[in-house]
Structure 1
Amino acid sequence: MAHDAAGRVAGETALAMLDALFEQSPIGLHLLDTTLRVIRVNTATPAMRSLATDELTGRPAREVYDMVDADVEALLNEVLDTGVPVLGRIVRARVDGDPRNYEVTAQRLHSARGQVLGVAVAVVDVTERERARARADVLDAVRRGVGLTLDPTVTGDEFVTAVVPAFADVAVVEVVDAVIRGNDPPLAPPPPGTPLMRTAFRSSRTHPPQAPLVGNVSGLPIPTPFTQALADLRPGVVPLDAAAPWLSVDPARAETIRSTQAHSLLVVPLALRDAALGLVSLYRAGQSPAFDAGDQELAVELAAHTALCIDNARRYAREHTVAATVQRQLLPRRPETHAWLEAAYLSLTGENPGAWYDTIALSSARTALVVGNVSGRGLNAAATMGQLRTAVRSLAAFDLPPEELMERMHATAGQLAAERANLPLADPLRREALTADCVYAVHDPLTGTCTLAAAGGLTPLVVRPDATVAVPATTAGPRLGTAQEAPFAAGEVEVPDGSVLVFTSDPVLTSYLAEVAGPLPLTPYLRDRTLQDLCDALVYALPTDLGIGDAAVLLARTRSFPPDRCAVWQLDPDPAAVAVARRRTRERLAAWDVDDETADDTQLIISELVTNAVRYGSPPIELRLIHDRSLTCEVRDAGSASPHLRHAGAAEEGGRGLFIAARLAQAWGTRYTAQGKTIWTEQTLPPAP
């Protein structure tokens, strides 16, 4: 009997608890029979909608849950048939026009003998929880997906992609046009009519309207919610009513709002430190709920992150613009084209302003070709590039062989790197290594060869007139500025008349051109096209995914030197050779129609140079005259002693030879080779009639 009494107490307690759940629990509870009709429902059930409990009893589930978007009847039938419970299923519903989210749990009920009695359904309103989760997801998506590039226009597109349709049905981003160009944003309120560029637009509508023209720049009509947001830098939720007076001020935007059937606008300024960078306009349309205070708070966070990304892009754009300007000022405006070497430049603008190119006229109708690339980015790379370019031009004036010039450039770059390493600890430039790639080549039209030396991975290509492509077999030295010490070696390649030399500052581009130079438009029209046309054809042929940054490209077409414009004589190491040299020089200048004054000066120069070679040099001695845009006189001998220009005393009879030659010539110098040295002078020729 005691056992029966305990059982009755337990049963009564269970019934009391069940009654308490149905009368007091905040969770909506439904008991359904095997035909899915309501047996019992509690007062917290969302489906009651102010109805009495007895009005729902006996009604089928499809009528009770008619506001639920999902097919609840099919879901509950599946639970009855399989016995597998549904746990925590999120369903969407609309209660009195308000979209809600519910978490539904359904379990099949059995008697003590295992007979199926029906289904128990528990419903919890999780609308706020789901909204908070959705907002957190949107915030996370914006933080992860916005600001991946340093392009303010791309940043806007990243933003609208992250928020549509997760947070808004339509999104528009507009940025102050001056910010796009890298200028400082105006302080709020910006001047009336400040131009803004529409950088992004996105719509989730099934049949979206004609999108506002992305890239359009215009001022905002006044007054509108958009100008107000820019003026006070405060967000605002604006119900969209066709009768709103501000819509008549901006007919184009009003048409967009009407065509999207938008009913709620959330306008948020893109602001940073009291400055206005732009606007974000978010719209909800159709059945989407209107924006509320929680949405506005989230939109402020989204806009703050986006504004910071746009400002970073602006700062980069400004620095890049300054660096690119410095680079343009430091690089030659146009190629220094020699009569026997036509050159053209090409700059593929990217992130690195450290690329440079140059052509330098040398003595004896030769031309130096230089292409290099400095590590780093921004203004510092451009400044270092200018230092190295100046150093190359200065060393080239001494007629150094390419390998020796590279060795001295390596030492110069090492000194610059040491200076950078000694900067104050707080200077971020101290932590950036200074290295550079460079190739220096000298084209000699009289021999039809090109001698070159390289530091790093840069190698030119030689496209010959028969369309064959050659890569000079040179041993590249270490990158300039590195601690690695290694001798630089020079290589020589033949360049027949009409060949095109291709120099690039990017090893990736060089490798690509070496692999596909045949199909590129460089080879079929070497003689018919100008070099600038070849540069354009090269740009058009490059794939967009090649992955090169800023690259300098130098194209040079060679021409052979006319044999009748050059004269060479071997001289005996005897004082009588001076008279022979003068006579031959006079005869050849007369054949070239050189004026008498220049011819007299040239004979005097030859006399002094040959005399020095006979007295102080070593045989063999060679005299060469080159009739180019200027007149070049060269005397070669096997000696290594370098002559020095000095002023002889009043009582001295000698010592004036090189001084006299230097005064009569426009330029003079000494060029050393493995076989000896060459003393040369250049004289300006009067223009041809």
Structure 2
Amino acid sequence: MLERILALSPAGMAVLDRDLRFVWVNEALERLGGVPRDQRLGKHLRDVLPLLDLRLDAEGIESRTREVLDTGQPLVDHLMRGGTKAHPHRPHAYSLSVFRLHDAANRVLGVSFMVLDVTDRWRARERLALLNEVGAQTGSTLDVMHTAQTLADTSVPRLADFVAVDLLDSVIRGDTPRPGARRDPPRMRRAGQQSIHAGCPESVAETGQPVSFHPRSPETQCMHDGRSRLEAMPGASISSWFATDPARAAKIHEFGYCSLILVPILALGDVLGVVRFIRWQLRDPFEQDDLLLAEEVVARAAVSIDNARRYTRQHSTALALQRSLLPRSLTGGSTLDVAWRYLPAHASDGAGGDWCDVIPLSGARVAMVVGDVVGHGIDAAATMGRLRTTVRTLADIDLPPEELLAHLDDQVLRLIDEEQTADPSLTPAALGATCLYVVYDPATRKCTMSRAGHPPAAVITPDGSVTFPDLPAGPPLGLGALPFESAEFEVPDDSVLALYTDGLIATRDQDIGLGLDRLRTALASPEVRLDELCGTVLDAVLTGRPDDDVALLLARTHALNEDQVATWELASDPSVVAEARSLTADRLTAWGLDSLLFTFELIVSELVTNAVRYGNGRIRLRLIRQDTLICEVSDASSSSPRMRHARTTDEGGRGLFLVAQLARRWGTRYTADGKIVWAEEHLPANGTQDRAN
């Protein structure tokens, strides 16, 4: 019974003596190897293995069998892979187990081995491994092109000799897939490709280049009906596809066939593109099982491609929103030369909330602001836009820096209340912001700075020294805990002010101290052009793609010359109105602005009259000639002037109305010891002079 069990076992079995010569073979092993029993018995293992129909590692098998004979340690379930002589390119898998034989006296008689054909199990395991790898690799990125290329890389050579992934152009842009009408070929682009040969010589299009299909081509039909196709084509008919390399085309023609699988890329019912799998050199033609595997591979990759497409759409939307909210251009007029850079973070959430701005103020002054909203994405970009608009609105009413930040803090608190009402799980720390606000006055060469939890500005003097002024830190916006303070200091003419966000100096691989040292070194070249200095700073401070958004603003100061400013102290007496008109007329004549005499004398007269009637203390009159002609009248009163429309019977009340009609713009700003009422007028075309004069 034991002999019949071994002889009729479906597993191939044999017994070898101590010289590894065959002494017994069952029928299953005879069928498995294709060598009759009489050609095996009495022969050594090394002589029989080359006769087998199987292409296996003969030396390796004999070596392992000899090791079992010598040591007595059995070899269990050793996997062997190889083709057959009839199908050399179709791999098979076999499980080999070898154990040593002993007689009753424990003398070594030889070895016995058992061979099982486990090709189906091995192929199933390989296919499952391929599917898992495709899912893991394609899901590791949110870039459409990279995901498509990963699909091609994973499929070669395990499934095909050449793979091309072609996506709709709208998919690569992140838009909704639109294959087009059946009569029109879809607009597509090569998103990824791979070949068993380096450089993809079989490709007819480079990655990223447009590809076109005939309206009646299999690719177009595959995309329209959403069904896969398995085709075996003569090598002569497909060699023209790969005409870029005549040698490859000749080999295809010589090989005699080309097997092709076309699989549409489908996600939630939308067609994203098509994948082409080709075998023509290394393996047998595709079979139905290969088609099922290709469909499953593409289905798993399609999920990742669609996720990447949706992310691209969201990322593009966030960046477009951020670009629309950021300033298109920044200018400081003749007061400041400005250059700026913005670098988005390398983050999965897309755009962030960093911004910078330059705002012209009254009296030839200019405000510079840089801010950073916590978080990334559309919400952060929208919050950034709201805060930037708020800062511009508050700057227009000439608030001091510390008061402006206090009002901005109130606005952030209101935004936090709105967000927490909608989502109570949010914390103020997740919705806050930081800000640095700077005002430069070219007439006095003084800078006033105030910050809310933001890194300090850098000041680079003409001699190249770099300092970070000691400013009161101030709490971040959105806490509403401590008041804000400002600091004022004088800045030499032709100095450079550098405002930046923390993404420039604090990264994963460097702390803030190291970032500030690098920034100090990079800024110590104020004589170069500001655009070049921006690039130098980013290259020197950043060690790679930033983890957080980076906003950098550089401004070179230009103070007013003495002949551009005229200041007079006047007594608070009605008689000084005529004196003010006379002083104004003399100064405008000296500046060559005779055409503005009548208008500006009237403006000065009305402003000085209001200061005499409603103000306190001495009056100061200041004229500034810059890009515009500016008149400033200051007094010690903090009462705000109010324009009213006088009735026809009223004898007064028309002063500010006349000023508003004659001046380009006018307003009031408050100081520590009173207020300043100002008005601006355009200079005539021939009245502007070069700043150097």
**Displacement after TM superposition at 1:333 (Å):** 2.8
Q: Secondary structure at the match of 2:28?
A: coil
> d(CA) in 2 for partners of 1:556 and 1:129?
70
- Equivalence for 1:317: 312
> d(CA) in 1 for partners of 2:458 and 2:20?
82
Identity of aligned residues (%): 39
- The 1:557–1:227 alpha-carbon spacing in structure 2 relative to 1, beyond 3 Å, is same
Q: Give 1:440's match in structure 2, choosing from 432, 437, 446.
A: 437
> d(CA) in 2 for partners of 1:190 and 1:465?
68
- The 1:677–1:208 alpha-carbon spacing in structure 2 relative to 1, beyond 3 Å, is closer
Amino acid at match of 2:151: F
Q: How does 1:300-379 map to 2 (within 5 A)?
A: 300-349=295-344, 351-352=350-351, 354-379=353-378
> d(CA) in 2 for partners of 1:280 and 1:431?
48
Q: Give 1:475's match in structure 2, choosing from 472, 475, 484.
A: 472
- Equivalence for 2:264: 269
> d(CA) in 1 for partners of 2:267 and 2:307?
11
Q: Secondary structure at the match of 1:69?
A: coil
- The 1:99–1:328 alpha-carbon spacing in structure 2 relative to 1, beyond 3 Å, is closer
Q: Which shifted more, 541-550 or 211-220? A: 541-550
> Retained in 1: the 8 A contact 2:503–2:546?
no
- Equivalence for 1:45: 29
Q: Secondary structure at the match of 1:686?
A: coil
Does residue 85 (structure 1) correspond to residue 79 (structure 2)? The answer is no
> Retained in 2: the 8 A contact 1:221–1:250?
no
**Displacement after TM superposition at 1:432 (Å):** 12
Q: Give 1:215's match in structure 2, choosing from 182, 185, 208.
A: 208
> d(CA) in 2 for partners of 1:21 and 1:207?
56
> d(CA) in 2 for partners of 1:285 and 1:542?
52
**Displacement after TM superposition at 1:77 (Å):** 0.9
Q: How does 1:577-596 map to 2 (within 5 A)?
A: 577-595=576-594
Q: Which shifted more, 441-450 or 610-619? A: 610-619
Does residue 516 (structure 1) correspond to residue 518 (structure 2)? The answer is yes
> d(CA) in 2 for partners of 1:670 and 1:206?
73
**Displacement after TM superposition at 1:392 (Å):** 1.6
Q: Secondary structure at the match of 2:113?
A: strand
TM-score, normalized by length of structure 2?
0.86
**Displacement after TM superposition at 1:631 (Å):** 1.8
- Equivalence for 1:20: 4
- The 1:317–1:74 alpha-carbon spacing in structure 2 relative to 1, beyond 3 Å, is same
Amino acid at match of 2:76: L
- Equivalence for 1:138: 130
> d(CA) in 2 for partners of 1:432 and 1:166?
50
Q: How does 1:147-546 map to 2 (within 5 A)?
A: 147-187=139-179, 192-205=184-197, 209=201, 213-221=206-214, 224-243=217-236, 245=237, 248=240, 251=243, 263-284=258-279, 286-349=281-344, 351-352=350-351, 354-423=353-422, 434-480=431-477, 482-509=478-505, 514-517=516-519, 520=522, 523-524=524-525, 526-529=526-529, 531-538=530-537, 543=542, 545-546=544-545
> d(CA) in 2 for partners of 1:599 and 1:557?
33
> Retained in 1: the 8 A contact 2:168–2:179?
no
> Retained in 2: the 8 A contact 1:155–1:310?
yes
Structure 1 unaligned residues grouped into runs of 5+: 1-15
Amino acid at match of 1:553: L
Q: Secondary structure at the match of 2:224?
A: helix
After superposition, the C-alpha distances for 1:451-500 in whole angstroms (9 at most, x for unaligned) are: 222334354333332222222322344443x3443322223354322222
Aligned length: 665
> d(CA) in 2 for partners of 1:544 and 1:157?
28
Q: Secondary structure at the match of 2:165?
A: strand
> d(CA) in 2 for partners of 1:432 and 1:301?
45
Amino acid at match of 1:445: P
> d(CA) in 1 for partners of 2:198 and 2:211?
28
Q: Secondary structure at the match of 1:368?
A: strand
- Equivalence for 1:8: none
> d(CA) in 1 for partners of 2:272 and 2:467?
53
> d(CA) in 1 for partners of 2:239 and 2:268?
30
> d(CA) in 2 for partners of 1:279 and 1:516?
49
> d(CA) in 1 for partners of 2:69 and 2:613?
120
Amino acid at match of 1:114: N
Q: Secondary structure at the match of 1:271?
A: strand
- The 1:668–1:222 alpha-carbon spacing in structure 2 relative to 1, beyond 3 Å, is closer
> Retained in 1: the 8 A contact 2:201–2:244?
no
Q: Which shifted more, 388-397 or 509-518? A: 509-518
> d(CA) in 2 for partners of 1:224 and 1:495?
72
After superposition, the C-alpha distances for 1:510-566 in whole angstroms (9 at most, x for unaligned) are: 75763323554x544x4453x344445555656562424543433322112111110
Q: Which shifted more, 126-135 or 406-415? A: 406-415
Q: Which shifted more, 75-84 or 344-353? A: 344-353
Q: Which shifted more, 392-401 or 585-594? A: 585-594
CA RMSD of aligned residues (A): 3.3
**Displacement after TM superposition at 1:47 (Å):** 6.1
**Displacement after TM superposition at 1:248 (Å):** 4.3
- The 1:36–1:431 alpha-carbon spacing in structure 2 relative to 1, beyond 3 Å, is farther
**Displacement after TM superposition at 1:396 (Å):** 1.0
**Displacement after TM superposition at 1:121 (Å):** 0.7
- Equivalence for 1:680: 678
> d(CA) in 1 for partners of 2:181 and 2:250?
29
Does residue 644 (structure 1) correspond to residue 642 (structure 2)? The answer is yes
Amino acid at match of 1:72: I
Amino acid at match of 1:42: N
Q: How does 1:658-669 map to 2 (within 5 A)?
A: 658-669=656-667
> d(CA) in 2 for partners of 1:59 and 1:123?
18
**Displacement after TM superposition at 1:258 (Å):** 6.2
- The 1:456–1:579 alpha-carbon spacing in structure 2 relative to 1, beyond 3 Å, is same
**Displacement after TM superposition at 1:290 (Å):** 4.1
> d(CA) in 1 for partners of 2:245 and 2:309?
27
> Retained in 2: the 8 A contact 1:189–1:232?
no
Amino acid at match of 2:667: G
**Displacement after TM superposition at 1:127 (Å):** 1.1
- Equivalence for 1:112: 104
- Equivalence for 1:61: 45
**Displacement after TM superposition at 1:242 (Å):** 1.0
**Displacement after TM superposition at 1:188 (Å):** 7.6
> d(CA) in 2 for partners of 1:456 and 1:258?
70
Structure 2 unaligned residues grouped into runs of 5+: 507-511, 688-693
Amino acid at match of 1:417: I
- The 1:546–1:186 alpha-carbon spacing in structure 2 relative to 1, beyond 3 Å, is closer
- The 1:579–1:186 alpha-carbon spacing in structure 2 relative to 1, beyond 3 Å, is closer
> Retained in 2: the 8 A contact 1:188–1:233?
no
- Equivalence for 1:12: none
Q: Secondary structure at the match of 2:73?
A: coil
> d(CA) in 2 for partners of 1:232 and 1:541?
55
> d(CA) in 2 for partners of 1:504 and 1:667?
32
**Displacement after TM superposition at 1:378 (Å):** 4.5
Q: Secondary structure at the match of 1:507?
A: coil
> d(CA) in 2 for partners of 1:666 and 1:207?
66
Q: Secondary structure at the match of 2:261?
A: strand
> d(CA) in 1 for partners of 2:271 and 2:245?
21
Q: Secondary structure at the match of 1:364?
A: helix
Q: Secondary structure at the match of 1:508?
A: coil
